[in-house]
Structure 1
Amino acid sequence: MKRQEKAMVVFSGGQDSTTCLLWAMREFAEVEAVTFHYGQRHELEIECAKSIAKELGVNHRVLDMSLLSQLTPNALTRTDIEIEEKEGELPSTFVDGRNLLFLSFAAVAAKQMGAKHIVTGVCETDFSGYPDCRDVFIKSLNVTLNLSMDYPFVIDTPLMWLNKAETWQLADQLGALDFVRTKTLTCYNGVISDGCGECPACRLRKRGLDEYLAIKDKGAVSS
């Protein structure tokens, strides 16, 4: 049974945020989505988010956060910075302050619509070395937002303790495995669906999908 509450989903059009959007649609009576334009490499990410929201019938807005790309050089906003991960260092795709700002602005928008729930797809189990995907950060920010606006926000993180295989499983349980697989954009190189197959995001996504499908097939055989 749906909770008779409203939720704002931080939505990029990727695998995780789309799964979270579908989860929120199952859980809450009213759902809206917000996407942030922060100078990311691929405009297709914004178009993908718009298309998914439209197909799902979700009210959707895009907010301009282009200042972020001016403040922090990173591989997600600069084509002259290589996408790489080095041991002991933050990945070059890490954007300083991104989730802090996105969740803060999402909270402002949520309060205006009377929503107490903010849904985000951050994940500590499979996180790519990003400190702003940790549970401790989310809990800390949740307290700060509540204090700053004197409003009882709840930041929901349905993927926080799931690995990628379990995230695919959740999409399947929501009846949307093929939808998430074919319509989302996770790839750092801007290739929709299964992606380029080479960047860290695509490798993580494929490894999780292969693991889940193998488990699913094994379960089907054993039953």
Structure 2
Amino acid sequence: MNREKAVVVFSGGQDSTTCLFWALKKYKEVIAVSFDYGQKHILELDCAKTICSEHDVEFHVLDLNLLNQLAPNSLTRKDMKVDTSAPKDSVPNSFVDGRNLLFLTFVAVFAKQRGISNIITGVSQSDFSGYPDCRDVFIKSLNVTLNLAMGYDFVIETPLMWINKAETWKMAYDLGVLDVVKKQTLTCYNGIKGNGCGDCPSCKLRKKGYIEFKEKYLIQKK
């Protein structure tokens, strides 16, 4: 079991890209794994591939299109518009049932075959957008389940779990990759790189966090 290596669940978005560079600082070898699940913003996979290529990170894309068939949602269905705000007492229609559960499970299988125990994901309970599979209790529960299911000592790391978007931008800044995250990532649900469409919930959260980051950290520093 090699604890000097790690696998990052990598979408090519702001959070996972920040986690990728966090991992590159911490581990001698990092592998990035992305998923094709029929997402409308599939351009994120091109972003992920480019970032990995430019920074010499081994990159893999796993096919998870079955998820699209099982779980109708606004991120994969062209006839569904993304909720602009979270409905009361329910998750937004951009939530993909089972996505993080399956992502982390498949990455765990991938990691075990390579003797790697450390898995990194960019979920955050602070900015979880109403998604139940971004909560700390879910990650801890799944970590135990994966260890029991495969008889293996996995460690799921969540560098962003207790920080907000402004602090995530600050992390990218401290890692020296602010421009990479700002210009080369795709967070937009409508598939627009960089600053995105500006209207979807993901873009609004990203923009709000960046404004707070500039005001709290960059302006004060000057």
TM tier, smaller: over 0.9
Q: Contact 1:189 / 1:199 at 8 angstroms: preserved in 2?
A: yes
Partner of 1:159: 160
Could you list the per-position Cα deviations for residues 133-156 of structure 1 after superposition, in whole angstroms to 9, with x for gaps in the alignment?
Answer: 000000000000111111110000
Measure the CA separation in 2 of the matches of 1:28 and 1:108.
20
2:36 aligned with 1:50: no
2:207 aligned with 1:206: yes
Q: Which range is displaced more, 43-52 or 173-182?
A: 43-52
Q: How does 1:54-73 map to 2 (within 5 A)?
A: 54-73=53-72
Structure 1 residue runs of 5 or longer lacking an equivalent are none
Q: Contact 1:4 / 1:29 at 8 angstroms: preserved in 2?
A: no
How many pairs were matched up? 219
Could you list the per-position Cα deviations for residues 49-75 of structure 1 after superposition, in whole angstroms to 9, with x for gaps in the alignment?
Answer: 111111111000000000000001000
Give the CA deviation at 1:122. Answer: 0.3
2:103 aligned with 1:102: yes
Where relative contact order (Cα < 8 A, 6+ residues apart) is larger, the structure is: 2
Q: 1:179 to 1:90 in 2, by over 3 A?
A: same
Could you list the per-position Cα deviations for residues 107-138 of structure 1 after superposition, in whole angstroms to 9, with x for gaps in the alignment?
Answer: 01111111110000000001110000000000
2:23 aligned with 1:37: no
Identity of aligned residues (%): 60
Q: Contact 2:41 / 2:188 at 8 angstroms: preserved in 1?
A: no
Q: Contact 2:3 / 2:116 at 8 angstroms: preserved in 1?
A: no
Q: 1:88 to 1:4 in 2, by over 3 A?
A: closer
Give the CA deviation at 1:218. Answer: 3.5
Measure the CA separation in 1 of the matches of 2:167 and 2:128.
14
Partner of 1:28: 27
Measure the CA separation in 1 of the matches of 2:12 and 2:143.
23
Give the CA deviation at 1:89. Answer: 1.4
Partner of 1:136: 137
Give the CA deviation at 1:24. Answer: 0.4
Q: Contact 2:3 / 2:117 at 8 angstroms: preserved in 1?
A: no
Could you list the per-position Cα deviations for residues 15-54 of structure 1 after superposition, in whole angstroms to 9, with x for gaps in the alignment?
Answer: 0000000000001111001001001013311111111111
Measure the CA separation in 1 of the matches of 2:64 and 2:211.
35
Instruction: Name the amino acid aligned to 2:172.
Output: A
SS of the equivalent of 2:116 reads coil
Deviating above 4 A after TM superposition, structure 1's stretches of 4 or more consecutive aligned residues are none
SS of the equivalent of 2:163 reads coil
SS of the equivalent of 1:45 reads helix
Measure the CA separation in 1 of the matches of 2:41 and 2:182.
19
Partner of 1:8: 7
Give the CA deviation at 1:88. Answer: 1.6
